[in-house]
A and B are shown apart, each in its own frame.
Chain A
Amino acid sequence: MKTDDLILALAADARPHGPSLVAGLIGAVIAGGLLAAVALLLTLGPRPDFAAALASPRFLFKFAVTASLVVTAARLALVLSRPGADHLRALRLLWLPAVLLVGAVVVELLSVPATGWQARLVGTNWAVCLVAVPGLSLAPLALALWALRRGAPAQAPVAGLVAGLLAGAIGAFFYAAHCPDDSPLFVAVWYTLAIGAVGALGAVLGARLLRW
């Protein structure tokens, strides 16, 4: 095929097919969230004192910090998927969840005596957290990667990493409803580890799936 012929064929296909990149990712986040919610309800379920816990700022903080990561990682993934975008500026989007987490840790360290730090950091359920968060994140990760295949990231593994953080944050958001450990110290260590693991998986998968 000659270049002019190729152009003719491309032109005949002018109108884009399917949803836009943005609509696709939003759809993936919503569908992934629903799947993670159903998976949580069918397996671990919310913690027994869920309703009472809603009055606890520490409990609510877990949703705030994971939700902020969902939103910022989704925006970052969209930026990274556009050729010619300013990647360094885009990375600054992650400041919001980082500041929230660091701020909450500082407040916790100031409000709890040092003797209580270790118990709050280790918590009671970290092993479940490290398994459940990645588990709940698998469907969101698959959907996010699928949606981002419409994109054109300069660095496929980096885009995959961000997709993983996005999926990990969705998983963590719903796991938080079950998780009995509410201290920001626990969140900073175990949630971060679990979400980071999903991010690593996303980077490995993205390196293959998001190439173009």
Chain B
Amino acid sequence: MREDWAQLMCAGLDGDTAAYHRLLSELAPVLRRVAQRMLARAGQGSGEIEDVVQETLLAIHLKRQTWDRSTPLMPWVWAITRHKALDVLRRQGRRAEVPLDALDSVLEEVAAPEPAEAGLAERDVARLTQSLSDRERAVVEAVYLSGASAREAGQRLAMSEGAVRVALHRALKRLAAAYGGAKP
């Protein structure tokens, strides 16, 4: 499975949305288990797990060009996960210390991902979409609610396909900023 992921990422970087969707969907439950374990090690409850998962997915997406195709994908993913877990812990006012060995022991256990806890994945983070403009929210919702392609969403919103892509990209950057880290 892991070998596949690098291939899926390459395909995604080349614009294959289906492959990219599959990669992120398969990564999410693994990230969730890793995040759960990392936060538990740091003495943090489960409330922030989905924050870590979503921020990590966003960071993987926004920073996907920092992955060097000639290197393995997963060390890159874990470094991002750890960075985002630290970020969340820091915002919780904890001493941000996630020991690396905690990560390593977690990684051994997640080789075969289990079905995720449904409740967590459904955790709503509506507060984040509040940071978007109406137009950006409309684009994000059109794309994800109906799984519409950029072209379909554009037709629905009377925007060009290019404008939808740009708005979507901006919205995702703003979302990442709303989580706390960087500026938009």
Measuring CB to CB, which residues of chain A are less than 8 angstroms from any residue of chain B? 1-17, 20-21, 81-84, 149-152, 154, 211-212
Contact = CB atoms under 8 A, between A and B. Distances in A.
B143 A9 contact: yes
11 contacts: A1-B54, A2-B123, A4-B121, A7-B25, A9-B171, A10-B24, A11-B24, A12-B150, A14-B12, A14-B15, A83-B80
Contacts of A82: 66-68, 76
A20 B66 CA distance: 8
Contacts of A14: 12-13, 15-17, 20-21
Interface string B33-64: 00000000000000000100110011101111
A84 B169 contact: no
B99 interface: no
Contact of B165 (A10, A13, A151): A13
Contact of B65 (A2, A3, A20): A20
A81 B66 contact: yes
A152 B124 CA distance: 27
Contact of A212 (B59, B64, B144, B147): B59
Contact of B63 (A1, A7, A83, A211): A83
Majority DSSP secondary structure for residues of A touching B: loop
Given A3-B53, A83-B76, A12 B15 contact: no
Contacts of B53: 3
Interface of B: 12-18, 20-21, 24-25, 28, 50, 53-54, 57-59, 61-68, 71, 75-76, 78-80, 83, 121-126, 128-129, 140, 143-145, 147, 149-150, 165, 168-169, 171-172, 176, 181-182
A205 to B, nearest CB: 13
Majority DSSP secondary structure for residues of B touching A: helix
A1 B24 contact: no
B28 A3 contact: yes
B38 to A, nearest CB: 15
Contacts of A10: 20, 24, 57-58, 61, 172
Given A7-B24, A21-B65, A211-B182, A152 B149 contact: no
Contacts of A7: 21, 24-25, 28, 57
Given A5-B145, A83-B76, A150-B63, 16 more contacts: A1-B128, A2-B125, A3-B50, A3-B53, A7-B24, A8-B21, A11-B21, A12-B143, A13-B165, A14-B12, A15-B13, A82-B67, A152-B80, A154-B79, A211-B181, A212-B63
Nearest to B74: A84
A14 B11 CA distance: 9
A167 to B, nearest CB: 21
A9 B168 contact: yes
A8 B149 CA distance: 10
B20 A8 contact: no
Given A150-B66, A154-B83, A84 B144 contact: no
A20 B80 CA distance: 18
Contacts of A211: 181-182
A4 B18 CA distance: 14
